[in-house]
Copies of this chain bind each other. A is one copy, B any other.
Amino acid sequence: MTLIDIAEDEDTCARTGATVYVCVTCRRPGDPEDGPRPGLALARGAAKAAEGTGVSVCQVECLANCSRSLSAAMRCDGAWTYVFGGLDPERDAEALIEGVKLLARAEDGILPWRSRPEVLKRGLIARVPPTDLAKGNSKEETE
């Protein structure tokens, strides 16, 4: 990626309000109740990975995907919104930022299947269309 590509990506993400929401309440089965929340570590990692990308990272208290935590969601104007689960606090922060950058660039508003990070395939929980969903633009979520 050139410096121009990076600047264009940053512009696209900022213009479309590209945002990653990370649940900071999430624990995985077996995590101690009073220990630091791994969801918070994921949120902090995502915020670090988002530096200079134009992506906003927003901590939220519950994405209601508790049985398949850790959880995060991503959105951009004019695109579908995606929810992911089964995330790892150490490993998956970069994948979230990479994913939302792909989404911001997607002309059809759909996160491309093949090129998205693996964890955004196997961890897919749900997606919701944009408010201005065009007819015929809800092709199925597979390769």
Given known A62-B140, A81-B81, A138-B61, contact A125–B126 (CB-CB < 8 A): yes
Residue-wise, chain A 94-134 has the 8 Å CB interface mask toward B (1 for contact) of: 00000000000000000000000000000011111101010
Whether the pair A58, B128 counts as a contact (CB closer than 8 A) is no
Within 8 A of B (CB), among A11-53: 17, 19, 21, 25
Residue of B83, B124, B128, B141 touching A21 (CB-CB under 8 A):
B128
Give the number of chain A interface residues (Cβ < 8 Å).
29
Whether the pair B61, A128 counts as a contact (CB closer than 8 A) is no
Once the chains are docked, how many angstroms separate the CA of A129 from the CA of B138?
A: 22
**Chain A residues in contact with chain B, CB under 8 A?**
17, 19, 21, 25, 58, 60-65, 71, 73, 75, 81-83, 124-129, 131, 133, 138-141
Known: A19-B131, A25-B140, A65-B125. 19 other contacts (CB 8 A): A21-B129, A58-B133, A60-B129, A61-B139, A61-B140, A62-B127, A62-B139, A62-B140, A62-B141, A63-B126, A63-B127, A64-B124, A64-B126, A64-B127, A65-B126, A71-B126, A81-B128, A83-B126, A128-B128
